Each structure stands twice: as C-alpha cells, then as structure tokens.
Structure 1
C-alpha cells in the first residue's frame, strides 16, 4: 500500500479513532493517523494519513475549518452538546421572547478574534492529560481562555419548539476553535443556555467533504491522494532539482530556485517527478528540512 492522504466522511456515532482502526484494516498497515478529532456525535470530513504520509498530518491539523451546526437555545449541558446532562432550562416564555436582532447581535459579538474557553470535555491537555479524561475521573476542570478566530458565524435558519429555539448556523474558524463553546457562549449571551445538537465538518483548508467518500464506500487504493498533491493544497510548493532532492533527502540545506516566490513558514519541496521530498522552511536563504519523506512515501 502506497502512502497518501485520505478524505473520509465520518458517520455519526463513532470516534475518529474508530475510523483510523477501520482504515488500518482496509489498508493493511498500522501506520495510519488523522488530523483533527471529530466527536462521536459529529459527522463530516476527517483527513487520514497512511504510511509515511502520516508525517504530513502535523502540517494539516492547523488549517482553518468550516462547520454546519445546529445550536439549541433554552438550556445548556455538561458537555455543551446533546451527549451531556441537561442543566437548568429557561422558562418557555423567556426562550419565545428571544428577538432576531438579539441573536444577530450575540452572533456578531462571537465573530472575529475572540478569547474562548474550551469546553471542559475536550481534548485540551491539562498537565499532560486530556481534559475529558480528568472530567470523567471526577475532577473539576477549569480551562484557560485562548485566542481563536471565527471568520464567519452565519445564521441559516431558526425554528421555535416547545421551550427551545434551534438555530442552524455555518461557522468558519481557526484550528482550535470549539463550536460547542460557541453554542454555550451564545446561549449565555442570550440568557438562556445553549448547546449543540448537530455538527458537521464540511471543510478543512482546501479539502472539502464533497470530495470524501463515506466510510462504507471507502476504497483506500483508489481514494488515496498522493502526499505531494495533498501538500500542494495546504502549503506553497517549491520545485527542486533531482540533485536538490537528493541533498534534502540527506538532510542537507539547498538553495531555493531563483524564481520561487518568497514564502514564510513551511513549504512543500517537490522533485521533477512530482514526488514530495520534504517539508522545508527558509533559513538563512536556504531550504532547511522540517519533515523528510522517503522515496516510497509519495511515489
């Protein structure tokens, strides 16, 4: 089995690790990983690395993301989603009185650069342990706020129910943003409590769920995206000669091509055959290897 990146449309009710385990069986290799966890209740795009392309996942996990979600206003939960225990509910007349302009103002206040406290039941590490592990062990966990970017928080539809208001929304955000926390904070701002009842990830960077087969329909060999093609969707591409590829493969620094546009951060060094040689950075006017890929990794 060659190396590469798989786009998979995760179904509801299983973990991201369950998807990885299934791909391991289908691909016949233990070297499988994913970039960016989805909760069991969530569906949508998972990026899966196979064999040496797992080395590329580190450079994909930080890409911005898009989600479609349903936020239920009226009460919060212990997990900020439908899987948690319900907290005290607001009176039905309070929920019914929520005005459209109040919702719009509260959503606007949660758009842009914001300080967000992640959900306590999250993958954030506290002294080396995941927050959700500590919560499940009975510990009280308080997480520090961190800066995130919500590029879009758009209302698509609103539906009143018996004591609740459901909002269908679209969110574009930076990596590390919790849509569950947006639901919680929106409910708090409106004085009613809020939690997620549905979440679907539709995009990671330039990777779209529309291009992802379902887990049931997944054929690994035909769906595998070569590492160079995947890297080109996430990073600038720097072409290198065969000699340059060989030197990078030995960990040496090489001069970038004279006609390469200046870039900051990481870039994908690709040889004349279209193979991903390495992820590189510009250091002192030369290309320095950050992550190397053996020849068989992306052939």
Structure 2
C-alpha cells in the first residue's frame, strides 16, 4: 500500500469520534479519513482510523471483538445508562457483596440477548432513538444477540448507599457496555449505571500502541504514527503472489488457486484473502468457485507496478 495508512488514536473524554476524524483530516490535509467503530463522547481510548488508500480497508478492520475497562455504579440508574443521564431510580447498595456480583456476572457471560439503550443511534420508525427519547416519547427498543467473551468485575467499594467497582469486558462488536452495566444491576435487583468507559482493544489493535490525540496533533510529522495494516489483519489468510499474477489480478482477472506458489493455506469459497507483494499488502481478494475450480477474485487493489 503506497498512500495513507492506519492510525491508532487514544481519544480523550469529550470529543465525538467524528470530531477526532475532522481534526485528523485537517492535520493530514486529506478528506479521506474514516474510523473503524465509534466511541461515545464520555468514553475514552482506542479509536482506529484509516487515511487515504487505507480507508478501503475499514470493513476488514471493524473487528469482531473489542475490549473495554471502566467503572460501574450500583444504587443509581440513569435514563442514558451512563453518568451523563438523569437519575431515574435509586436503591441502597450498601449490603451488596462480591459473591452476589460474581454470580450475576456469570449470568451475563457468553451469548446473551441485550436490549439496546433508549439513548442510542438505532433507528426506530426512521428516527434516531435518542431523538425520540429527548422528546419524551416511549418506544420499544429492539434486542440483539451479543457475545460477552470475558466479563470481570473487581472488588466492591461501598460509599454510603451506593457501591462502585471496576470492570473489564471482551465482547463482540455491537455490544453496549452501558447496557451491560444496567443489566448487571437488574440481575442483582439494584439499579446500576456505567460511570466510565475506556476502550483498550479493537481486534488485534491495542491501546498500548496508540498515540494520544494531543501528541498526534502537535507532531510536525504526523505520518510517523501510521501503522502497517498487515499487522492488524493477520486473522485473515495471507498469500504472496508473483509480479505476473499481481498484474493479472490488478486488471480484474481471476487466478486459479492451483497456480499459486506453494505452500498456501487451505482456502474456502467466500473466504477473504490478503495478497502480498514482498510482504506488503497488494490487494484483497475473495475465493470463488468457477466451473469447479477455486479461483481468487480481486476485490480491493492497492498494487501498482514499480
């Protein structure tokens, strides 16, 4: 890939993900910047951005798993399920125990049904749910199946009638962590909400490799923070191709798998494949079946001769 790249930005609390994209666009002097998964303004942490040619990889970087840390508060529920909302229910959490919390956590681990928060961007009859909520309209929110791979809650800290605990979650994309905190309270019979949230992982991208937004914007060489897309796409099969094959693929021609250099991984129909040229991503292809033969069909071409 010759132009652009992937950025791992540590978003601070406050700006929207779109705000961050706009700042990065101005800094890099390009309109072609997009993100692989939004973060709400009250949340901080890892935001994966793609610039220029790399924006064509966004659909492959929207990872199936994401990791978060944060804090949950027991004893108070809010209309937004986080600390930005109005308190709508309260009850004493002074008698809450770690044992009860761990039992509730177990019930919310694995594949679960999650009701989408009222204050969310989900469309209800053509309108955003948060717009309807702000008007005071009551709507039936949809539920979705999500996978909570890991859910850990730390020791309870009681402060009068409320209790706090830190947590860490690894989950499928589309999971609302504030809804998970809300549901944890419901499991315990105590109102609860998410007090803070920090995203620490998106697929293979980790917060430890990210640059703060402040440092990125202050840099005289912002391109130094680009990371190779190859390092974040290793969950896909990688194969190398000769210049002659890349020439054919870049022209839209299909290549039979049997023509590839050996060894190659076992590939299945509809499988997405990353094709490299001397270790650099040259194109994205998909395996198809053509008259009984498995072939590579080019989908996204980055390779240029010379």
Q: Is the 8 A contact 1:253 1:287 kept in 2?
A: yes
Q: Distance in 2 between matches of 1:157 and 1:260?
A: 49
Q: Distance in 1 between matches of 2:304 and 2:78?
A: 50
* TM-score, normalised relative to structure 1: 0.91
SS at match of 1:88: strand
Superposition map of 1:1-299 within 5 A = 2-90=3-91, 92=92, 95-127=93-125, 129-218=127-216, 219=219, 220-232=222-234, 234-256=235-257, 257=260, 258-263=262-267, 265-272=271-278, 274-284=279-289, 285-293=294-302, 295=304
Q: Is the 8 A contact 1:203 1:209 kept in 2?
A: yes
SS at match of 1:222: helix
Q: Distance in 2 between matches of 1:187 and 1:112?
A: 17
Alpha-carbon distance change, 271 to 294 in structure 1, aligned in 2, over 3 angstroms: closer
Decide which structure has greater strand share.
2
SS at match of 2:26: helix
Q: Distance in 1 between matches of 2:240 and 2:60?
A: 18
Tell me by how many angstroms 1:187 deviates.
Answer: 0.7
Q: Distance in 2 between matches of 1:132 and 1:88?
A: 20
Q: Is the 8 A contact 2:30 2:52 kept in 1?
A: yes
Alpha-carbon distance change, 108 to 137 in structure 1, aligned in 2, over 3 angstroms: same
- Looking at CA atoms only, which structure, 1 or 2, has the larger radius of gyration? 2
Q: Is the 8 A contact 1:96 1:165 kept in 2?
A: yes
RMSD, matched Cα = 2.1
Aligned residues: 292
SS at match of 1:5: strand
Q: Distance in 2 between matches of 1:235 and 1:134?
A: 40
Q: Distance in 2 between matches of 1:133 and 1:290?
A: 38
Q: Distance in 1 between matches of 2:232 and 2:14?
A: 28
Tell me by how many angstroms 1:249 deviates.
Answer: 1.8
**Residue segments in structure 1 that go unaligned for 5+ positions in a row:** none
**Residue segments in structure 2 that go unaligned for 5+ positions in a row:** none
